[in-house]
Amino acid sequence: MTNKIGNFIAGKWSDSLSGRRFQSRNPADNRQVVIEAPLSGRDDVDRAVAAARAALPSWRRLPAPRRGEILYRAGELLNANRQRLGELVTGEMGKVIAEGLGDVQEAIDIAYYMAGEGRRLQGETVPSELPDKDCKSIREPLGVVALITPWNFPIAIPAWKLFAALICGNTAILKPSSDTPACAAALVEILAEAGVPDGVVNFVCGPGEEVGEYLFCHPDLDAASFTGSCAAGERLERLLAPLHRPLALEMGGKNAIVVMDDADLELALEGTLWGGFGTSGQRCTAASRIIVHERIHDRFVGMLSESASRLRLGNGLDAGTHVGPLVNESQGQKVLDFIGIGREEGAQMLTGGHRVTDGELAHGFFIAPTVFAEVTPQMRIAREEIFGPVVSVLRCASFEEAVATVNAVPFGLSSAIYSRDVNVTARAERELATGIVYINASTIGAEVHLPFGGWRHSGSGHPEAGGRGGAVDFFSRVKVIYRDYSGRLQKAQIDK
């Protein structure tokens, strides 16, 4: 890729009709421009939707196994370019290189998985209650779908949405976050090289308020999928409600790890550090609440604060970096504001709590991993999503109290429990009110062959990834077919 990208519409890269552009910068060093991208407007969206609509009839009629072969080739190309793409993720989003490579690996995994779904898009064949009649259901695409994706998984999440939409026979318009357009463009390039026909995948850059909302409400659109903040997702939900348009939302979380008094504390510590500070806390599944049994509370808090203080901040491409930068200044300022709120609420800050500006770090937005203790469930830092390297430790006296605390927030995405008691963990599986539950593991680490999604304010109930129960169920609809070969009118229940 050059240092400039365009929109991708009807198989061609082109500038926005206005000719305006914006820059994506390296969050570890904001002096470095990663890419220049088109600042699109409504006319560009109209062109992209028209291209997707024109490409739909031939794509939906292409047999699903043939669509799967194209996705398989995309997976092979992603794998061949994994290092380059992983470095691009780190350079544009800021996560450490191991996580950047993992971002690409998720896209590879979902490519292979969805390629296989091309031979598994099954419905049902069931016996009829009448003679000389058969009954079946089949899956059909929704049509033209719009996809808005966030910056924190700039290749993986576009791949999650695109590959599921494509295998089901839909055509798509992808609008990525304006913080990471280069990563999304690289994925679209891979799909074009893999043989996706012109117009099947279209790519438009621009601001969410103008481009994203107009795209989702476009009169020639059939469905939409969004991953991002609760505020943006809930606004889109309100806008689309009168249109009766299928909408999948994957939004925020206030995820918790429960550490019981019989837990393996070293294992729980590793899970807390990974869940709380991996991706600099910029994951919807980040572990921002740690609920610790009072018998081991003080010991565990000491272990956590000491370990967090030793995490090394830096450019994600540098060997030895544990925690990268926040994606941009506004996100960093939001995190600093929450740290101030925690102090005002009376929480005890044990480590971190400040922006790090030493040497080269001065040119990025780095915040030291922060641990608050003596946090109560009513505090804002224990209830609201921070999306940064800030962990709040709460005390509990029992399993029941821990579960009640986990479930007391408006979100329900991910939760985890550390305990050696199989009966306790079995009860946790049942009682934790989140879409994902981890036993003796952190709140992050979903696998693509199972659905990914949250409850309540964390999402709309249409999970990503997976097959049955996941994205395939959202991006396809069921048609029921009755065939009567009796040669006479049969009236179902009336004839009975």
Per-residue pLDDT of the chain (496 residues; tens, 9 = 90+): 458 999 999 999 999 999 999 999 999 999 999 999 999 999 999 999 999 999 999 999 999 999 999 999 999 999 999 999 999 999 999 999 999 999 999 999 999 999 999 999 989 999 999 999 999 999 999 999 999 999 999 999 999 999 999 999 999 999 999 999 999 999 999 999 999 999 999 999 998 888 999 999 999 999 999 999 999 999 999 999 999 999 999 999 999 999 999 999 999 999 999 999 999 999 999 999 999 999 999 999 999 999 999 999 999 999 899 999 999 999 999 999 999 999 999 999 999 999 999 998 999 999 999 999 999 999 999 999 999 999 999 999 999 999 999 999 999 999 999 999 999 999 999 999 999 999 999 999 999 999 999 999 998 878 888 877 889 999 999 999 999 999 999 988 887 7
Sketch the domain layout of the chain as residue ranges: 7-251+459-481, 255-439
230 is catalytic: no
Q: Are 145 and 224 in contact (CB under 8 A)?
A: yes
How far is Cα 474 from Cα 139, in angstroms, rounded to an integer?
A: 11
Q: What is the pLDDT of residue 1?
A: 44
Sole residue written with tokens 């505020």: 231
Q: Which two tokens stand for residue 352?
A: 């971190």
Q: What is the pLDDT of residue 492?
A: 82
The CA angle 13-16-20, to the nearest 5 degrees, is 130
Q: What is the pLDDT of residue 321?
A: 96
How far is Cα 40 from Cα 383, in angstroms, rounded to an integer?
A: 36
Q: Specify the pairing of strand 255-259 against strand 287-293.
A: parallel
The number of residues in the chain equals 496
**Which one of 284, 385, 396, 464 is the catalytic residue?**
284
CA distance to 123, 287, 308, 387, 390, per residue, from 276 (Å): 41, 5, 10, 10, 7
284 is catalytic: yes
275: which residues sit within 8 A by CB, 6+ positions away? 255, 257, 285, 286, 287, 416, 442, 443, 444
380: which residues sit within 8 A by CB, 6+ positions away? 338, 341, 342, 345
**Which one of 92, 117, 250, 464 is the catalytic residue?**
250
CATH class of the 255-439 domain in this structure: alpha beta
Q: What is the pLDDT of residue 2?
A: 52
Q: Specify the pairing of strand 133-141 against strand 124-127.
A: antiparallel
Domain 7-251+459-481 fold:
Aldehyde Dehydrogenase; Chain A, domain 1 (3.40.605)
